[in-house]
Amino acid sequence: MNFLHKSLSRRTALRSVGATIALPLLDAMAPALSRAAVKPAHRFQTFYVPNGMAMEYWTPEGEGSDFELSPILEPLAPYRDQLTVLSGLKASWNYIHAGASGSFLTGTTRGGTNEIEIIADVSMDQLLARRFAKETQVASLELSLDGPSNAGACTGKLSCSYTHTISWRSAEQPLPMEWNPRAVFEKLFGDSGSTERSVREARLQEHKSILDSVMEKLAGLKQDLGPNDQLRLNEYTDAVRDVERRIQKAEEQRDLELPRMEQPQGIPPIFEDHLELMLDLQLLAFQSDLTRVVSFMLGKEQSARPYPQIGVPEAHHPLSHHDNIPELIAQMSKINRYHTELFSKYLAKLRATPDGDGSLLDHVTILYGSGISNSTRHSPNNLPLLLVGGGAGSLKGGRHLKYANEPSMANLLVTLMDKMGAPVDHVGGSTGELPLDSLAGV
C-alpha cells in the first residue's frame, strides 16, 4: 500500500492521535460560565458516608418546615433554607455493606453472588455524565478518601467493587474512585504545576499545535487508504475532532481567573488535610465548569478509620455494630456529627463562590447520606438522606419530608434526574418518581 510509504505511517498516525487524546490537560479544559449567563449550570454531587448512622441522633423532630435539627444535623443550621431531610425511604438492594453502596446511586435490586460475579446497574451520576459529556471537559469525577480495591471479596463473599465505589458505567462496569489529589489535579489541569492562567495558556497552545499537525497529516493520508483503513481512520478522526471541540471551549475560558493552587504532591497523611484538598479540587472543578457531576465517598463501606481527634479512638466499622447499646450509639453519633461539621465547611465555600446571579451552592444539588440506617442490623429502612443546595431553582429547602409505605430510594434518583434536566423512565428498579414538591400535609 502507498500508505506505508507516507512520511507518517499509519501506526505513527494512530499513535499520535491516541497520545493527543490522552493529554490530561485536554481532558480538563472547559469553558467557564459567563457571569452574565442567563441560566447558570446545574451541578450534581453525591457525598456518601459509610457504615450507617446513629439514627437516634440523626432524625429531626417535627415535619415539614416545622422541624428541629437533630444533634448530627446541627452543624448544617446555616444552610437550613437549602436543606431537605428525607425520612422513610428504603434501599432497593440490601445485602450488608455491599448493597448499601452498591445500590445507592444505581437503584439496583440485586448484585452478584460471589466475588467474581459483578452485577448492578448504570448509576445516576453516569446517566448525568452522558447527558453533560458534550458540554464539559470531564464528564464526571469519581473520588474517595480511601484507596481502591478491585479484586477479592470484601463483604459477604462479594466483590470489593460493591464497597469501594458508588459509580457504575454499566451493570458490569464499576468505576474506580480516585483518592490521590495529585491524580485529580492532573485530570483537571494537566501536569502543569499550578492553575495559573499563563501556565494553562502555554499548555493550551502547545497541545493545539500538536493537534493541528496531526489533523493535517491525517487529511493527507486518507486519499491513499483502502475502504477498511478509511473507516478505521475516520473513527480516530472523529475522536480528534472531539478534542478540537475541547480546545475551542478552552479558548473561550482564556480570561478565567482561578484561585492559585499548586499541584498536590500526593496524599496528605492527615485525614482533615486530605479531605480539604479533595473538596477544594471538586469546588474548583465546579467553579471552572470542568465538570457538573461529582461522586464522592468520604469513606468506603466497612471503613475502619478511627477518630481520636474527636475522642473516638475506636475503628468506625466495629463501632457501628453497637448492638443498640446507648453508650456506643452516642460514640457513633460523634463520628456522624463530625462528618456533617466537615461537610458544613465545604458548603461555606460553595456559598462564598459567586456563580451567575448567585453562588455555587445556589446552583448545585447535593445528595448526602448513607445506604444503611441502623448499622447494627445493616438496616435498609429509613435511610439517612439529605438534599442540600438550591438546585438551580429546582429545590425547595427548609423541610423534613417523611414518607409512608417505604418508597424505594431509586424513585428519588428518578426525580433528581428530572430536576437535573435529564429525565429518564427509570433508574435501576425504580417504580416511579418520588414527590418532593407536593407531599401531602407539607
Please, are residues 111 and 162 in contact by the beta-carbon 8 Å criterion? Answer: yes
Instruction: For residue 430, tell me if it sits in a domain.
Output: no
**Which band of pLDDT confidence, cut at 50, 70 and 90, is reported for residue 430?**
very high
| Same structural domain, 78 and 162 | yes
Whether 160 and 244 share a structural domain: no
Residue 39 predicted with pLDDT over 50: yes
Do 391 and 436 form a contact (C-beta atoms < 8 A)? no
Same domain, 86 and 4: no
Asked if the structure places residue 431 within a domain, the reply is no
Q: What is the pLDDT of residues 323-361, one digit of tens each?
A: 999 999 999 999 999 999 999 999 999 999 999 999 999
CATH number of the domain enclosing 127: 3.40.720
Alpha-carbon gap, residue 103 to 408, rounded angstroms: 11
**Model pLDDT, residue 261:** 74
Domain assignment present for residue 433? The answer is no
Residues 272 and 304 in one domain: yes
CB 15 within 8 A of CB 218: no
How confident is residue 242, by pLDDT bands cut at 50, 70 and 90? low
Query: pLDDT tens across 73-126, in order?
Result: 999 999 999 999 999 999 999 889 999 999 999 999 999 888 889 999 999 999
Q: Quick one: pLDDT at residue 8? A: 35
Are residues 13 and 70 both part of a single domain? no
Give buried/exposed letters for 240-257 (b at 16+ CB in 10 A, else e).
beebeebbebbeebeebe
Domain around 250: 1-30+196-257
CB atoms within 10 A of CB 44: 26
Q: What residue type is assigned to position 210 of the chain?
A: I
Structure confidence by residue, pLDDT tens digits, 263-277: 887 899 999 999 999
- How many Å apart are CA 263 and CA 277, to the nearest integer? 11
CB distance 189 to 28 below 8 Å: yes
| Mean pLDDT, rounded, for 46-57 | 98
- Looking at the structure, tell me whether residues 342 and 204 fall in a common domain: no
In a domain, 36, yes or no: no
Residues 72 and 126 in one domain: yes
* pLDDT score, position 294: 98
Please report how the helices 197-222 and 10-22 are oriented relative to each other, as an axis angle in degrees rounded to 10. Answer: 150
Identify the weakest region by mean pLDDT among 216-220, 223-227, 292-296, 387-391: 216-220
Q: What is the pLDDT of residue 29?
A: 34
| In a domain? residue 94 | yes
Question: Residue 26: what pLDDT?
Answer: 31
Q: Considering the chain, what is the average pLDDT of its residues? A: 83
Asked whether residue 389 carries a pLDDT value surpassing 60, the answer given is yes
How many independent structural domains does the chain possess? 2
Mark whether 171 and 69 lie in a shared domain: yes
